[in-house]
Amino acid sequence: MSSTSLGPRRKPSRKGSMADVPKDMLQEIKKLEDMFTVDTAKLKAICDHFIKELAKGLTVEGGSIPMNPTWCMGFPTGNETGTFLALDMGGTNLRVCEINLPEEKGEFDIIQSKYRMPEELKTGNADELWAYIADCLQQFIEYHHEGEKLDKLPLGFTFSYPATQEYIDHGILQRWTKGFDIDGVEGKDVVPPFEEALEERGVPIKLTALINDTTGTLIASSYTDQEMKIGCIFGTGCNAAYMETCGNIPKLAHMNIPADQEIAINCEWGAFDNEHKILPRTPYDVIIDKDSPRPGQQAFEKMIAGLYLGELFRLVLVDLHEQKHVKFFEGQDIASLRKPYSLDASFLSDIENDPYENLQETHDVFASKMNIKCSKPELELIRRLAELIGTRSARLSACGVAAICKKMNYKTCHVGADGSVFNKYPHFKARGAQALKELLDWETGRDGKPLGRGHDPVEILPAEDGSGVGAALIAALTLKRVQEGNVMGIRDPEGMLKGTAAAKSGNKQVAPETKK
């Protein structure tokens, strides 16, 4: 019987493409699958350990996850009103926003400007840094409020560098990150020099809250969607924030805060499992840690964050090439692949997004970027490796989300997520949702509906703008607390109100109760 009578040949699925891969290469793929796959049982074991570590971070003794109290006390109601500024000091830009919270619940209007952060400032001196930031704020005010007589505008400052805070209006920088290395700032409170620079220029601004972007993500997201209970960042780094009750925080017991008082906790969960007790580290993860600027720190982050995904991928490829029996990139010069951190997460995204059956785009990018000519079996391994690393990142990320849900007994909630990996990495959202289903043992969705988008009991959704809107909202909530006489974790409550619209008699600028 001639083969033509069998009808057209079915186009092989991507899975079926392995048919052309020689046996020894298939064995290498199988080894990688065994190494990078995290099954349901392992996910659950990691989650159980994560819950214990979150609780440990809240004790007096502490643990490897810092669990920093932020002094942002409680969620917004959606009825906050007034005009607030937000300042976001990132690695490349300085962003200034003015946010107006109108009468409508959960709404906001925003105007913003970006200023470049000059490279020389990052290694200059502290006075120059604060002077530059104050100049940008002055420019912003002059441009948007020319000739107006202004009350002092309350400012939320997103300062996303590791800092310890005993008060919401102060913060001691623990260490610089993101390429900053300015002498004389580490170990000191960043607020007084910042305020002095504003004072010198007569800029009508009062720093009300110093916040971390993850806490801002939590608050901004819950302002527009009251089901949001957790804020996460899955980007170059990783982190989460959630609302805890003070009764569950032994390290704050000496302050005699009411047990049911809510306070946002900035987990800094990249440090989970620094003791290497539970995470399934491969030999490649061990190398990444050993060669990093801070070995032994940020164990969780090094397995899931965007900064490290491309490097993991690169290390595996170099190792395969060096195992002569594997015959990977055999006889080729792989010098361009030997440069540490030369591949980033977007390189993996592109491989996973390659739509062609023969992985033509991947073939072309290896040829043009690295001068390496890949065979069909090599391309299949490359694609599978990218899938394995991307999938592991999403599945491990879900362990942290599930741990907070279990700790707080959230059966249903929304999680607001931001960051380049969450927003841009292919299938990250779907893989995370699948892992949550396994971790939390879901059979059906909300109201008995089938599981899937919109019906999963816990859903990770794109967050609201944390470093802008979130910072402004936390300034609003802090001012409202001062008006109500609830001044826990505020260093200078009187100074905070002075000269602002909220200080004017009877003007409860940010108190929703006074709404008609």
Which residues are designated catalytic? 160, 175, 213
Contact of 440 with 131, CB cutoff 8 Å: no
The Cα–Cα gap between 96 and 139 comes to 10
Q: Determine the angle formed by the axes of helices 345-353 and 360-370, rounding to 10 degrees.
A: 150
The Cα–Cα gap between 385 and 375 comes to 15
Residue 169, judged by CB atoms within 10 A of its CB (0-12, 13-18, 19+), counts as buried
Tokens of 225: 């969607």
The contacts of residue 234 (CB under 8 Å, 6+ apart) are 304, 305, 306, 397, 417, 418, 419, 421, 422, 428
The contacts of residue 13 (CB under 8 Å, 6+ apart) are none
Relative to beta strand 238-245, strand 228-234 is antiparallel
The Cα–Cα gap between 394 and 383 comes to 17
Tokens of 106: 């959960």
Tell me which amino acid residue 405 is: C
Q: What are phi and psi of 344, to 5 degrees?
A: -110, 180
Q: Which helix (H) or strand (E) holds 480?
A: helix 471-483
